Structure 1
Amino acid sequence: MAIATRRITANGFEFAVDEAGVGDRLALCLHGFPESRFSWRFQLPMLAAMGYRAWAPDLRGYGQTEPKPQDVASYRIDRLMEDVAALIDASGATSVTLIGHDWGAGLAWTFAANHVRPLERLVIMNVPHPAIMSAHLRRSWAQLKKSWYMFFFQLPGLPERAMTAADARAIRNAFHGMALDKTNFTPEVLDRYAADAQRPGAMRGMINWYRAAMREQGKLAGPWPVIETPTLIVWGEEDAALGIELLDGTDEHVRDLTISRLPGVSHWVQQEAPTAVNAIVQSWLEAPRGAPAGSG
């Protein structure tokens, strides 16, 4: 099914949104760092074929969404949740399934926990619940070593220059270097991400997500309300940035939880293994509520 790009005005922004499908059941897909709406290219047609209107926006600070605020405060989590709510409202949807990967998953976790808008289903890919991430950053030397870049990103100016130097070589390496199966990370795909990161103001906006999060670390510890929305986690087990142990304890934060683990797949799970991910997501979304598709 064809993917078209739309401009959606919401919360003072002009969001670039890739769309597939029609109807009043919205599947809203939130990308991570250093990605863009393009990261959902394999999932949008599948969701549309299931009867969803599937949207994948360039999030605040990214890609073709404008403007790109340059101040850190604009990337506080409550501001980002306002964007998600505004996109949902702009869609006019009567039901919403929220899907997120990486930073988009962190935003999706927080949005669901705060009950900002009613959600039918929640799908999370390769990011732990914020409370678990916070605990590991406080206690786990292994996770701290893996998260070194989060601290590097707190420096002023230098990270932006480092990430965009040599035609954004670091952006390209983030995908090609971490992926185990590099088939879907062709030179053309890497060019797309490198070009998006080099748009005026983009790199600072992208990194400001990390700066704002670090300043709000105290909020991550909680307490967090239990998420009542049925939730699926899809996790590539060979994630170089986030250890598989970060899944432990998730059931304390989610009432109805299904976990599907994919061995031999990296952090870029929905791009690296789209056939497997799509099969898992489709099976789970088609399962009646109250009857999870199971864990794998």
Structure 2
Amino acid sequence: MASEAFEPVGDSRVQHRRSLVNGFNYHYLYAEPANGVFQATVFLIHGWPDCSAGWRYQIPLLLDMGLRVVAPDLMGYGGTDAPEGDIALYGFKRASDDIAELAKIVGAQQIILGGHDWGGAVVWRAALWHPELVTHVFAVCTPYVPPTEQWVSTEDLVKGPLPQFGYQLHLASGEVEKFINDEQSIRQFLKGVYGGKGPNGEMLFSPEEGVIAKNLALIGDSRLLDGKMLDYYVQEYNRHGIHSTLNWYRTRKTNFDEELELVEQGKSTISIPTLFVQANHDSVLKPSMSKSMEAFMPNLTRGDVDATHWILMQKPAEVNIIIKEWLQGQGFGSKANSSL
């Protein structure tokens, strides 16, 4: 079930579109089945350090199932704007509102929503902020954590139950931009984050420490991101630099403050059909973190794959099987027509 990944440039199956969304320019991938007939619309939301092309193995599958696909670059990434000043522009509420607006732009009254990494966190929140829009939601790697009225800082998480979140403190600190600041360092960074190592096994990324600057120049090729696709990622990250993508690690308090409204409204349960795909060897989003999800998701389906955090490109066949079977179980993937 490993549909052939699309090429970053010149692939007839996928269009690169741009639209003004709530005052900012968004770049997004847009694709319809070859016959132009689609049963529903799927929005796919990427994480860090990724972009819309992170879904390159899943988009062809969804097209083959008769579904329309929209995959935006999030705020600060790739061809989407990277505004400065207001950190709330990189929060979950703003991302959810932008997804809703982009759905209007493409003429989708309702959508299926899927996410990975930060994108997974976004889609869970979008289902809470816009329940009239989202009919089905799935996340890869990212477990659901409900809104809470109790503030817990990233520092508290690292000192307590989640020491593997130490990297988030480093990414938010402003230190990473000091040594990842040009095309060559971006290339080395991407190779290292996606599994490239130095000659003696040196790693670039540590869940507890973050990005290890001294190893940057040592990193060799990645098996997961290379060739034309690596060149594309480097080009996309070189548009704004890495700083704007790291703003997503600076919004924890903003997200908490905005989500107090959800708490006050008693919005913590997601009753629509949901799917969670666990990467069994994810060193950050570990399987134990998802153990309480059933309490908030009465229609939850689970799947798991023996893969690392980069499951979408490391084990695309296994991921695609899980997504396809879940969607078929929800009545999608047939030749029936719909206007979603």
Q: TM-score, normalised by structure 2?
A: 0.75
Match of 2:127 in 1: 112
> 1:41-56 counterparts in 2 under 5 A?
41-56=56-71
> Is the Cα–Cα contact under 8 Å of residues 24 and 94 in structure 1 kept in the other structure?
no
| Alignment-derived partner of residue 325 in structure 2 | 283
Q: Quick one: distance in 2 between partners of 1:214 and 1:193?
A: 30
- 1:227 Cα shift? 0.2
Matched, 1:151 2:169: yes
Residue pairs, 1:100-249, within 5 angstroms = 100-131=115-146, 138=156, 144-155=162-173, 157-164=174-181, 166-168=184-186, 169-177=188-196, 183-200=223-240, 202-217=241-256, 223=263, 224-249=267-292
In structure 2, distance between residues paired with 1:261 and 1:123 = 13
Partners of 2:231 and 2:132 lie apart in 1 by 36
**Aligned twin of 1:63:** 78
- Taking the aligned partners of 2:181 and 2:280, their CA distance within structure 1 comes to 29
1:211 CA drift (Å): 0.4
CA shift for structure 1 position 35: 0.4
SS at match of 2:76: coil
> Shift of the alpha carbon at 1:129?
1.1
Offset of residue 13 of structure 1: 2.3
Query: 2:15 corresponds to which letter in structure 1?
Result: A
| Cα deviation 1:54-97 (Å, max 9, x = unaligned) | 111111111011x3112223223222211111111111124310
The structure-2 alpha-carbon separation of the partners of 1:261 and 1:76, relative to structure 1 and needing over 3 Å to count, comes to same
Contact 1:136 1:143 in 2 (8 A): no
- TM-fit CA distance, 1:104: 0.7
Q: Which amino acid aligns with 2:285?
A: L
| Counterpart AA for 1:70 | E
Which residue among 12, 17, 24 is the counterpart of 1:13? 24
In the alignment, is the contact (CA less than 8 A) between 1:147 and 1:241 conserved in 2?
A: yes
- Which stretch has the larger CA shift, 68-77 or 229-238? 68-77
**Equivalence map 1:255-270=2 (5 Å):** 255-263=298-306, 265-270=307-312
Shift of 1:272: 1.2
Larger mean Cα displacement after TM superposition, 100-109 or 112-121: 112-121
Percent identity (aligned): 26
Which residue of the partner structure matches residue 110 of structure 2? Answer: 95
Alpha-carbon RMSD across the aligned residues, in angstroms, is: 2.7
Q: In 1, Cα distance between the equivalents of 2:189 and 2:166? A: 15
Query: Alpha carbons of 1:147 and 1:60: their partners in 2 closer, same or farther (altered >3 Å)?
Result: same
Q: Answer whether contact 2:88 2:254 (CA < 8 A) is retained.
A: no
- Map Cα deviations across residues 15-35 of structure 1 (whole Å, 9 max, x no partner): 211122144621000000010
List alignment gaps of at least 5 residues for structure 1: 290-296
Q: Structure 2 unaligned runs (5+)?
A: 1-11, 197-204, 206-221, 332-340
Deviations 1:197-247 (A, max 9, x none): 2213x4222111110124444667974421011000111111122211011
Distance apart, 1:184 and its partner CA = 3.6
Q: Secondary structure at the match of 2:235?
A: helix
For 2:56, the aligned partner's letter is R
Contact 1:101 1:124 in 2 (8 A): yes
1:128 Cα deviation from its structure 2 partner = 1.4
In 2: Cα distance, 1:161 partner to 1:220 partner: 32
Structure 1 or 2: more helix by fraction: 1
| Cα distance in 2 for residues equivalent to 1:74 and 1:136 | 20
Larger radius of gyration: 2
Relative to structure 1, the CA distance from residue 189 to residue 116 in structure 2 (aligned partners, 3 Å threshold; closer, same or farther) is same
Question: Which whole-Å CA distance do the structure 1 matches of 2:252 and 2:277 have between them?
Answer: 23
Q: Is the 8 A contact 2:96 2:130 kept in 1?
A: no
